[in-house]
Structure formats: C-alpha cells, structure tokens
C-alpha cells in the first residue's frame, strides 16, 4: 500500500485508532493534529463497507472535523456519507474550525439487501 497523507501513520493516529475509553474510532486524517502535507482541491480519504440494510431505517455517522488555521480561505473539508455512491448527507468545515457532525445520516428505509455505505472526507473549493 502506498503511504500518503492519509495512510502514513495507520493504527497510531490514522485509520482504526483506540480511544481513551477503550472504544475505537476511524480517523480520516490525523487524530493528533499538527501533521503537514501538500494537498490540493479534490484530495480525499474514504472508508466504505458493504452493509445489509434490511430492516434498517437509517445509517448514521458521528464526525468531528478539525481544520487547521493555515488552510487557504477558499478551501474547506467536506464530509459526506454515501449509499451506493449517492451522497445522502454532508457537512463542511472551514479553516480554523472544529465541527461536530452528529446528524450525518442517510435514509435507507426503502432499501433491502446489501448496499455500499461510505464516508468521505474531501478538500473542496468554497
């Protein structure tokens, strides 16, 4: 696997990381902060999983976006949740902000069987 800004510290501050309370979080970026990388508009990290959504009403993720102060003012991080490649929820965070997205969810109440659920973090122009 190629190491890049999103996969250079897997298991430490990126990817599946143990939290202080013994749970786990999936980090798309860097849990500790302070890391620097050359990123441009359109760069992204994504985690996806095939999920049987039969009998489910919604899929939901809880996200905390922390954006450094030195991100250019015309760029922001866009977090989105997709079902089979279709965006069903999203939120944006601009430079110097921390934003908790506790309501990022997708309605799957009319779906049955297995569908691809993904969470994407992408650098976008605003």
Q: Are residues 114 and 91 in the same domain?
A: yes
- Mean pLDDT for 84-105 is 91
- How much is the pLDDT for 95? 92
Q: Are residues 23 and 59 in the same domain?
A: no
Range of the domain at 11: 1-38
Dist CA 75 CA 53 (whole Å): 34
Q: Are residues 108 and 75 in the same domain?
A: yes
Q: Are residues 83 and 109 in the same domain?
A: yes
> What is the band of 112 on the pLDDT scale with cuts at 50, 70, 90?
very high
- How much is the pLDDT for 78? 94
Residue 67: pLDDT over 90: no
- Mean pLDDT for 107-112 is 96
Q: Are residues 7 and 55 in the same domain?
A: no
pTM recorded for the entire structure: 0.77
Counting the structural domains of the chain, the total is 2
Please state, rounded to an integer, the average pLDDT across all residues of the chain. Answer: 82
> What is the band of 33 on the pLDDT scale with cuts at 50, 70, 90?
low
Strand-pairing partners, residue 117, are: 49, 83
């Amino acid at each position: 696997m190629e190491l890049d800004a999103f996969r250079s510290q897997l298991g430490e501050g990126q990817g599946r990381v143990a939290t202080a309370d013994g749970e786990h979080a999936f980090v798309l970026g860097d849990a500790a902060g302070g890391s620097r990388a050359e990123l441009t508009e359109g760069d992204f990290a994504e985690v996806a999983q095939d999920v049987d959504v039969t009998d489910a009403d919604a899929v939901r993720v809880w996200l905390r976006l922390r954006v450094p102060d030195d991100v250019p003012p015309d760029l922001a991080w866009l977090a989105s949740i997709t079902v089979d490649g279709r965006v069903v929820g999203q939120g944006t965070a601009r430079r110097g902000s921390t934003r908790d997205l506790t309501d990022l969810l997708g309605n799957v109440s009319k779906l049955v069987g297995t569908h691809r659920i993904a969470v994407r973090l992408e650098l976008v122009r605003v």
